[in-house]
Structure 1
Amino acid sequence: MNTADGHHRSDLGRRVATRRRQLGLSREDVAARAGSTPGYIAYVEERLPAPGIEFLVRLANALETTVQDLTGLTAGSPQGEGPAGNRPRPEALDEKECWALLDDHGVGRVAVEAADGLDVFPVNYQILDGKVLFTTTSTSALALAAAAGAEIAFEEDHLDEAFRQGWSVLLVGPVRTVSDPVEAQALRDAAHSQPWAGDGRDTAVLLSPHRVTGRRILVPGAPGTADGSDGREP
């Protein structure tokens, strides 16, 4: 644990740091956007600040999000409740882009044919050499599917609520249980995070996708579009 993590004492600080990393911004970048200083951005991320609403608005704009999202007021709300963006443009993603968006690890969803029908649930995942690692309980629907060599679907998405755009990636392929204990332990050791659901999930399952597809919805003027690199009006 580094010093910054040790000093994290507020949900606001965690959300600011997470959003900044999602955008690939340094503290200097955020400070320049928000009319602040890198030292104060560090203070917001690492300590227990009580910034005024004016600064929170500037900070939310700098991080291309909302004050409600930064302060956690929308944490328990379903995503995507707002209206569609102005002139949304869908586009297909190639396989290379899909893997880049999945990045190294995160939380997605799997769809598995269970004993009583189709089951969909969230999972932590780790990307390893073109495969997807999950760790689960030995009696879970995912583990049973892997033991049978069944095919599953895995999906991750991201929504940018502020600009009504986002992306979705879908992987389809067979899963297998890693039965060799040495290989399974090596895979678990390579994972960056433990399952959020807690202990007892020590069965390693690998997805080898034969289909990798995705799509993105872009809104003109929003970040990531040719006419909106920073999402701000000229």
Structure 2
Amino acid sequence: MTSAARHQMSDLGRRIEARRTRLGLSREDVAARAGSTPGYIELLEEQLPSPGIEFLVRLANALETTVQDLTGYTADLAPGKAHAGHHAGMVGIDETECWALLDDHGVGRVAVTGSDGPEIYPVNYQVVGREVLFMTAEDTPLARAAVTGAAIAFEEDRVDDAFSQGWSVLLAGPVRKVSDPATAQTLRAAAYSTPWAGEGRDTVVVLSPRRVTGRRVLVQGAPGTSSGPRPRP
């Protein structure tokens, strides 16, 4: 799709495409799940702004999400509004799976110690090997921490409100500023996206985690769980 065509996509089309891509599904896959055709899925993503509610329900099920999420109804709501699930429990996530959950890139949160104490804020991140790349402004707490090699924490999570379960991954370790211009430019070019917050964030910071841990909350009988022993409370 050209950049001009992408600009004309509806909000619904963008959400359908983003969700489909995140699940690793083709249009053919989604069409088979929703009882439709690949051409109609393409039409929804690129042109048609408002299908009927019956098909929206089928499409949401095919994309393992909700009509509210697809239509943007919950976009400004904090996650985790549902009650706790029945027979819920928490299990640890090993380091290999933690990296797999982080995937290649995304948006997470960094925790640093600023002049007024601890500060937490969202950042775009890029996984490079077993390190995490951030791009930030020169005068941010994260950039200042990188100059001194201070330790920070980085967290990423997902919440499944429909089943009151989800996961969280935490990385902790020192950060460093990439001062060599050629290396910094190579890392910037490797990033999937520039920071969502806009221009002026050219300082490249790399986290080398010394600790990688994760936790997953599971609800018996929910997607992703088995009928075996319950997770430990």
**Are 2:45 and 1:45 equivalent residues in the alignment?**
yes
Letter in 2 for 1:214: G
* C-alpha distance 163-187 of structure 1, shift in aligned 2 (>3 A): same
Distance, in Å, in 2 between the alignment partners of 1:32 and 1:65 is: 16
1:122-161 Cα distance to aligned partner (Å, 9 max, x none) = 0001111111111111110000011111000000001122
Counterpart position of 2:94? 94
TM-score, structure 1 length as denominator?
Answer: 0.91
Mapped contact 1:10–1:48 kept (Cα < 8 A)? yes
Does the residue aligned with 2:209 lie in a helix, a strand or coil? coil
Counterpart position of 1:62? 62
Counterpart position of 1:31? 31
Does the residue aligned with 2:79 lie in a helix, a strand or coil? coil
1:78-135 Cα distance to aligned partner (Å, 9 max, x none) = 1111112232232111000000010111100000000111000000011111111111
> Higher mean Cα deviation, 4-13 or 106-115?
4-13
Counterpart position of 1:150? 150
Counterpart position of 2:173? 173
Mapped contact 1:4–1:46 kept (Cα < 8 A)? no
Distance, in Å, in 1 between the alignment partners of 2:102 and 2:116 is: 30
Counterpart position of 1:213? 213
Letter in 2 for 1:49: P
Mapped contact 2:123–2:195 kept (Cα < 8 A)? yes
Letter in 1 for 2:159: L
Distance, in Å, in 1 between the alignment partners of 2:218 and 2:130 is: 27
Distance, in Å, in 2 between the alignment partners of 1:121 and 1:58 is: 36
1:59-84 Cα distance to aligned partner (Å, 9 max, x none) = 11222211111100111111111112
Does the residue aligned with 2:12 lie in a helix, a strand or coil? helix
The aligned length equals: 226
Counterpart position of 1:6? 5
Does the residue aligned with 2:134 lie in a helix, a strand or coil? strand
Counterpart position of 2:77? 77
TM-score, structure 2 length as denominator?
Answer: 0.91
Letter in 1 for 2:201: R
For residue 3 of structure 1, report the CA deviation from its aligned partner. 4.3
Letter in 1 for 2:188: R
Distance, in Å, in 1 between the alignment partners of 2:109 and 2:37 is: 39
For residue 29 of structure 1, report the CA deviation from its aligned partner. 2.4
Distance, in Å, in 2 between the alignment partners of 1:86 and 1:15 is: 30
Distance, in Å, in 2 between the alignment partners of 1:176 and 1:78 is: 32
Please report the RMSD computed on the Cα atoms of aligned residues, expressed in angstroms: 1.6
Does the residue aligned with 1:19 lie in a helix, a strand or coil? helix
**Equivalent residues in 2 for 1:121-160 (5 A)?**
121-160=121-160
Mapped contact 2:82–2:162 kept (Cα < 8 A)? no
Letter in 2 for 1:74: T
Distance, in Å, in 2 between the alignment partners of 1:45 and 1:222 is: 29
Distance, in Å, in 1 between the alignment partners of 2:46 and 2:219 is: 33
> Higher mean Cα deviation, 157-166 or 69-78?
157-166
> Higher mean Cα deviation, 146-155 or 30-39?
30-39
Letter in 2 for 1:25: L
